[in-house]
């Protein structure tokens, strides 16, 4: 048979064998398992050769095999076939049943017809009843006996389903459908009323189990176009058939698509095992089957019981007051109904099935009970958390609050668990109670830990803020008793923090050992803050030493900048500045928080300050050879953990310090000598004496010839004028070479200016315009004279940088070696 998307598959063959592999393959091909509950099953029943397959193919675009009219009427569909309805949403499965009243099976073999019809009603949401229009009102043609049998057995064998019966009237005549439909519905209602029903369904209307729909189609052979048009209209009714208002909108008991195969197999198995729809004859077997059916029925009723469903839904939302009593009443009602219907069966079987029913009922409701206990547990724990937090916010003690609310909450839980108890079960709440107590203790412990951690963290932050900046300031100032001040600061701030901690944890009722450990932890933290800051400052010691040296060396006792006039004792000032810097190095060499004396200061002073004061190099070599106290990695009487800078590191730092501050000393010496030179213009006395002795003859010649004196006097006046005009003394303040270059570039213009001015004064009678022009030219010439030449200015600037560097704190070590070679006076200060 062709497979063009509908995947037509034989589900049950003519002998009643179920095609398990074929069904599984069909489900896989049409991807039925992923549909969930969004699928529908449509079956068709009717007489043989009535056009069922033709109708299904036109209605659902399936590919069921159709009868060949030219070969005569005979059985075409054998067994039960299924296919996917093409283009119908949601996924719809079409089921084509073997026709009834077929001559192939004969008049006596109607069991398969009944079984297939019952199977179709059991698994289908919509059942099409195919019938001829002119057979309405006839007993056999309308399948009335078959429907009567199916109605009767279905209510006892299966859980009731809401199935839609769609009667399709074929080859409609001129008689309007409005006249045919009431007759058909009346016949169906008579069949339903005549069926014997159990007591529970004695007055149940047909509409509780079936939706009856009627439609009519024109003749396929005589009016094919009209037939196709009506089939297309009917097809639209199968779109979204399971939606509210659809053909199967109010169906019940739907099996998920993934379980369709198993469900169909089990249903067919039960039908086949009851071939003639008879129950076992043996008494015990009857009692077993019937009592089990009754028990299952009551269990199913319990599952769908309105009170139970409301109670179950309420439990999902939260605790339910009187849960145990309400649930016990519901179970009692189910057991009483079982006893009434099973009273005439074997007592032992009846009691055994009753116990099974009670056990299954308790299993059914047990999840709701455990859910209720979880709600009670959750509510109790949340109440404890809320009340404890509120008590702590109100300032109440932690320990007393925990005790009070623990007792209150546990009493409330015991009351709630007793209210939830079911009479039929011996379910205890001890495990949940123990879990609640454990959760309460855990939460209390976590809150206590969080609160203590918060207190400790806040105090640690306060200690950090209170110690970091002051300690840094003390190290930077380098006072006489730096570590004494640090110890006092540490003791004061630690004591304040511990006092605040003791007051904060009083309500926790901690044991003395715990309190002592936490207080010691705060002390250790404070000490660690100081130690870390000390190590941080030790990394910047060279910068601190140079800053201290620069401050002491370049400023006097009144903190005013020094002016090197030649009267200062640079040697003493240098020693004081180095001693102050060494004091910083001594303070930073080790951590001194334990008030233990150490010889670090004296060792550094004797090894570094006194060592540089040795009178001769031989003495220096002798002392170095005798004992180098800094050639070690540890300090005497100092723990290795407290060492910040080792002796050998101190020695290296001091050597680097001397090298980087040497330039400052050299500049000071140079500035002092330059000041002396700038304020001393007379030659040395021996030069004056030599000039007197060697120039005696020239002096006598001047006395003998007064013209020479006049010439010398004029030359003196001219030289004095040039001296004043060029400010020679000011030019030489920046150095000899810049002064000579500046004077040489300005000498000739200055002389020419003087001669021109003398000439102008000699004339004495200039016109105003000439006088004004001369004055402007003189002013321009003076500006040119006083404007520094670019070369001399650059050299003067270079010289000024060198002469003013004695006031700078920052200097470059790149040219240090060159400065050492060119500045001889520095040797005695190295």
pLDDT of residue 143: 58
Residue 328 has pLDDT above 70, yes or no: yes
Q: What integer pLDDT is reported at residue 256 of this predicted model?
A: 61
Please give the pLDDT value at position 611: 64
CA nearest neighbour of 128 among 176, 85, 160: 85
Nearest Cα to 166, choosing from 212, 113, 116? 212
Q: What angle do CA 223, 229, 234 make, to 5 degrees?
A: 120
DSSP class of residue 50?
Answer: S
The 91-97 sheet, strands edge to edge:
9-12, 80-84, 91-97, 39-45, 126-132, 163-170, 210-216
Reported as a single tens digit per residue, the pLDDT across 255-291 is 667 667 767 887 787 778 764 333 233 345 456 766 7
Task: Look at residue 782 in the predicted model and tell me its pLDDT.
Answer: 41
774, pLDDT greater than 80? no
| pLDDT at residue 800, as a whole number | 34
Closest CA to 354 of 295, 290, 304, 300: 295
Share of the chain above pLDDT 70, in %: 79
* Chain segment 678-712, per-residue pLDDT in tens: 666 666 778 778 888 887 787 777 777 778 778 88
The reported pLDDT for the residue numbered 93 is 92
Specify the range with the lowest mean pLDDT, choosing from 163-177, 553-567, 617-631. Answer: 617-631
Most confidently predicted of 193-197, 344-348, 579-583, 670-674: 579-583
So what's the pLDDT on residue 75?
Answer: 54
**Tens digits of per-residue pLDDT, 353-401?**
889 998 888 888 888 888 888 888 888 889 888 888 888 888 788 888 8
At residue 276, the pLDDT reads 39
Number of alpha helices (DSSP H) and beta strands (DSSP E) in the chain: 29, 7
pLDDT of residue 314: 87
Q: How confident is the model at residue 528 (pLDDT cuts 50, 70, 90)?
A: very high
Residue written as tokens 């099996």?
255
Q: What is the mean pLDDT of residues 11-19?
A: 86
Q: Are strands 91-97 and 39-45 parallel, antiparallel or unpaired?
A: parallel
Which range is least confidently modeled, 421-425, 522-526, 726-730? 726-730
Q: What is the pLDDT of residues 795-829, one digit of tens each?
A: 233 233 333 333 333 333 333 333 333 333 333 33
Q: Tell me what pLDDT residue 253 has.
A: 63
Q: Best-predicted range by mean pLDDT among 34-38, 478-482, 647-651?
A: 647-651
Other beta carbons within 10 angstroms of residue 75's beta carbon come to 15
What average pLDDT does the structure give for the chain? 77
Mean pLDDT on 612-640: 61
The pLDDT value recorded for residue 137 is: 66
**Which band of pLDDT confidence, cut at 50, 70 and 90, is reported for residue 94?**
very high
- The whole-number pLDDT of residue 274 equals 66
Q: Which two tokens stand for residue 235?
A: 């097809």
Please tell me the pTM assigned to this model: 0.44
Task: Please name which of 271, 274, 220 lies closest in space to residue 51, comparing C-alpha atoms.
Answer: 220
* pLDDT single digits (tens) 128-184: 888 778 777 666 554 566 667 667 656 654 455 678 888 888 887 777 788 778 878
pLDDT tens column, 536-545: 888 888 888 8
Do the Cβ atoms of 162 and 210 come closer than 8 Å?
yes
């Amino acid at each position: 048979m062709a497979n063009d998307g509908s995947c037509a598959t034989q589900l049950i063959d003519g002998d009643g064998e179920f095609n398990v592999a074929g069904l599984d393959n069909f489900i896989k091909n049409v991807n039925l398992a992923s549909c969930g509950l969004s699928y529908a099953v449509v079956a068709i029943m009717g007489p043989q050769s009535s056009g069922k397959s033709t109708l299904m193919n036109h209605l659902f675009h399936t590919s069921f095999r159709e009868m060949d009219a030219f070969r005569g009427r005979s059985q075409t569909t054998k067994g039960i076939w299924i296919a996917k309805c093409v283009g119908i949403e949601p996924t719809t499965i079409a089921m084509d049943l073997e026709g009834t009243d077929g001559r192939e099976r004969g008049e006596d073999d109607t069991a398969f017809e009944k079984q297939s019809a019952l199977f179709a009603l059991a698994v289908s949401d919509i059942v099409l009843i195919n019938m001829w229009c002119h057979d309405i009102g006839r007993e056999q043609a309308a399948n009335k006996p078959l429907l009567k049998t199916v109605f009767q057995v279905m209510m006892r064998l299966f859980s009731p389903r809401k199935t839609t019966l769609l009667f399709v009237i074929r080859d409609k005549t001129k008689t309007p459908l409005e006249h045919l439909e009431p007759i058909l519905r009346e016949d169906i209602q008579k069949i339903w009323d005549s069926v014997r029903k159990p007591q529970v369904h004695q007055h149940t209307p047909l509409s509780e189990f079936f939706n009856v729909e009627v439609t009519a189609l024109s003749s396929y052979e005589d009016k094919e176009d009209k037939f196709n048009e009506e089939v297309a209209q009917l097809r639209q009714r199968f779109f979204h058939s399971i939606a509210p208002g659809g053909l199967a909108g109010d169906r019940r008991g739907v099996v998920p698509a993934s379980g369709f195969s198993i469900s169909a197999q089990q249903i067919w198995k039960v039908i086949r095992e009851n071939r003639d729809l008879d129950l076992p004859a043996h008494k015990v077997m009857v009692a077993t089957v019937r009592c089990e059916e009754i028990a299952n029925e009551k269990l199913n009723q319990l599952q769908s019981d309105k009170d139970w469903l409301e109670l179950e839904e309420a439990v999902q939302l939260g605790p339910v007051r009187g849960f145990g009593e309400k649930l016990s009443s519901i179970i009692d009602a189910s057991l009483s109904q079982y006893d009434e219907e099973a009273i005439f069966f074997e007592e032992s079987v009846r009691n055994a099935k009753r116990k099974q029913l009670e056990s299954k009922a308790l299993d059914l409701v047990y999840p709701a009970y455990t859910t209720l206990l979880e709600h009670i547990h959750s509510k109790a724990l949340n109440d404890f958390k809320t009340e404890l937090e509120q008590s702590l916010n109100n300032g109440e003690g932690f320990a007393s609050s925990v005790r009070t609310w623990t007792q209150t909450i546990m009493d409330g839980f015991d009351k709630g668990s007793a209210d939830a108890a079911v009479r039929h079960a011996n379910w205890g709440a001890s495990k949940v109670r123990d879990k609640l107590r454990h959760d309460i203790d855990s939460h209390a412990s976590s809150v206590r830990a969080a609160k203590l951690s918060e207190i400790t963290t806040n105090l640690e932050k306060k200690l950090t803020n209170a110690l970091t900046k002051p300690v840094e300031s003390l190290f930077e100032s380098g006072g006489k008793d730096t570590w004494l001040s640090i110890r006092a600061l540490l003791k004061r701030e630690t004591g304040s923090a511990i006092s605040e901690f003791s007051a904060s944890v009083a309500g926790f009722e901690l044991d003395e050992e715990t309190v002592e450990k936490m207080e010691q932890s705060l002390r250790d933290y404070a000490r660690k803050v100081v130690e870390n800051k000390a190590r941080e400052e030790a990394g910047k010691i060279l910068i601190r030493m140079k800053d201290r040296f620069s401050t002491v060396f370049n400023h006097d006792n009144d903190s005013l900048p020094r002016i090197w006039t030649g009267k200062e004792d640079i040697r003493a000032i240098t020693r004081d500045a180095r001693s102050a810097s060494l004091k910083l190095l001594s303070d930073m060499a080790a951590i001194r928080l334990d008030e233990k004396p150490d010889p670090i200061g004296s060792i550094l002073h004797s090894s570094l300050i006194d060592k540089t004061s040795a009178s001769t190099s031989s003495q220096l070599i002798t002392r170095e050879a005798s004992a180098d106290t800094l050639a070690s990695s540890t300090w005497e009487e100092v723990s290795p953990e407290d060492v910040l800078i080792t002796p050998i590191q101190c020695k290296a730092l001091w050597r680097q310090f001397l090298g980087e501050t040497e330039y400052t000393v050299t500049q000071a010496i140079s500035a002092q000598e330059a000041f002396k030179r700038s304020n001393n213009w007379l030659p040395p006395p021996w030069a004056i004496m030599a000039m007197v002795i060697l120039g005696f003859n020239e002096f006598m010649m001047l006395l003998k010839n007064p013209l020479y004196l006049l010439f010398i006097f004029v030359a003196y006046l001219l030289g004095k004028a040039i001296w004043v005009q060029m400010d020679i003394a000011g030019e030489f303040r920046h150095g000899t070479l810049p002064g000579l270059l500046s004077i040489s570039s300005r000498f000739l213009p200055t002389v020419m200016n003087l001669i021109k001015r003398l000439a102008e004064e000699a004339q004495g009678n200039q016109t105003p315009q000439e006088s004004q022009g001369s004055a402007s030219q003189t002013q321009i010439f003076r500006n040119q004279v006083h404007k520094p030449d670019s070369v001399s200015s650059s050299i003067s600037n270079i010289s000024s940088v060198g002469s003013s560097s004695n006031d700078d704190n920052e200097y470059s070590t790149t040219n240090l070696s060159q400065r050492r070679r060119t500045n001889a006076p520095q040797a005695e200060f190295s």
